[in-house]
Structure 1
Amino acid sequence: MNIYQHYVLPKMIDMACGTGQVMKARANIVPQATGEVLEIGIGSGLNLEFYDASQVTSIIGIDPAAQMQALADKRAAQMAIPIEIIAADIYEIDAEHARFDTIVMTFTLCSIDDPIPALTEMARLLKPEGRLLFCEHGLAPDASVKRWQRRLTPLWKPMAGGCHLDRDIAALITAGGFTLEELNEEYLPGPKPMSYVYSGSAKKKL
């Protein structure tokens, strides 16, 4: 791992993903979490302040980027909810079938190498009555923006931790074994290729 990936990129991601409008988008989704929570791609822990301690009993946060964990640990230390943060991807956690009440995924699906198997594993880990809560940027509806997203993604990925700008988030979640309950789509303020956001909730297909 080079200096950029180890020292520079984690702070850049923390800053970019912690801007006002992005935090507002997180704040609309994360407080809906209940019970035992698995957060996918916890990163630097930017979602932690939005969990409702009266509704959430515990949180396991996973992220393969171990260099982000120090930032997450600082935020976790301020929480009243029991939190375990693990440097691992979705396939490496030791969790039984249908364990979690809620799975939270924000600004993460863009950088998972193979998203459909990862979503299938999330569905396995979720209780039958559980919910996937998501807030993800992805493919825009406007043809001109789509073209730019597809042009920019090969250049953007190496600079942004593997982030894809052009993923159809709703289609991926459905293909990964979920049925959408609620879906909101909008541009956040900022460059349009990077700012089209899908947010909502889904249940796993039974």
Structure 2
Amino acid sequence: MGKWFPHLYDTVMKPLEKRKFKRIRIKLVEQATGKVMEIGSGTGVNFPYYRNAVSVDAIEPDSVMRERSQKNRAQSPAPIQIWNTDAEQLPFGDDTFDSVVATLVFCTIPNPIKALEEVKRVAKPGAAILLFEHVRVDQPVMEKAQDVLTPLWKHICDGCHLNRDTLASVRQTGIEVNSVESFYKGVFITVSGTWGQAP
């Protein structure tokens, strides 16, 4: 992780969080039920919204982010355990989780396909896969701008790819996409998906 980004993340994101993202997060995270895994929990912005979860195992490899998440962890309706690990190698057994949540994180994961394969491994058959991500926009001018800006953006913002097509990656790994909602002219999307068939 970059030295400054984890320290300033909440400050930089605050205007967006207050204006729209909070509502998006609440609507998404409240769909997570049972035993939940959150990938890239960051500063714990989602933690207060786990109203229907039995428990949450949160993955966050950055120590500053983990430390800053403790305040939000204390506000969670569900018990939360935070793990220092990467999404590409999860420390859980097969078929463990009823729901998986990831918000604004697949843009930074070095190997998103491997991470999604790990999600499939640890998710129970029929588990809900719930994502909120910024993605590559299907519009020529915007696509070109995202491609041009991504190298600098990655350097400034801890490896964040502006031009990553996360929805295509989800479909590539065989996760069934049940619904997609777009925001800010398609720059941000939520995805509600399912892995496998419930027994």
Distance in 1, matches of 2:159 and 2:142, equals: 20
Note the C-alpha offset of 1:205. Answer: 4.2
The equivalent residue for 2:39 is: 40
Q: Tell me, which stretches of 5 or more residues in structure 2 are unaligned?
A: none
**Counterpart selection for 1:110 from 95, 101, 107:** 107
Q: Tell me, which stretches of 5 or more residues in structure 1 are unaligned?
A: 189-194
Q: Confirm whether residue 71 of structure 1 aligns to residue 68 of structure 2.
A: yes
How far does the alpha carbon of each residue in 1:135-172 deviate from its partner, in whole angstroms, 9 at most, with x for none? 00011122111110000000000110100000112101
* Paired amino acid for 2:162: L
Q: Confirm whether residue 31 of structure 1 aligns to residue 44 of structure 2.
A: no
Distance in 2, matches of 1:29 and 1:82, equals: 18
Q: Confirm whether residue 197 of structure 1 aligns to residue 188 of structure 2.
A: yes
Structure 1 runs (4+) deviating above 6 angstroms are none
* Paired amino acid for 1:42: S
Distance in 2, matches of 1:10 and 1:145, equals: 27
The equivalent residue for 2:159 is: 162
CA contact (8 A) 1:73 1:85 kept: no
Give me the TM-score of the superposition, normalised by structure 2: 0.91
Q: Confirm whether residue 16 of structure 1 aligns to residue 12 of structure 2.
A: yes
Give me the TM-score of the superposition, normalised by structure 1: 0.88
Aligned pairs for 1:138-149 (under 5 A) are 138-149=135-146
CA contact (8 A) 2:49 2:77 kept: no
Indicate the percent of aligned positions where both proteins have the same amino acid.
32
How far does the alpha carbon of each residue in 1:26-55 deviate from its partner, in whole angstroms, 9 at most, with x for none? 122111110000000000000112111xx2
CA contact (8 A) 2:100 2:129 kept: yes
Q: Confirm whether residue 174 of structure 1 aligns to residue 171 of structure 2.
A: yes
Distance in 1, matches of 2:116 and 2:28, equals: 18
Note the C-alpha offset of 1:122. Answer: 0.3
* Paired amino acid for 1:97: D
* Paired amino acid for 2:34: G
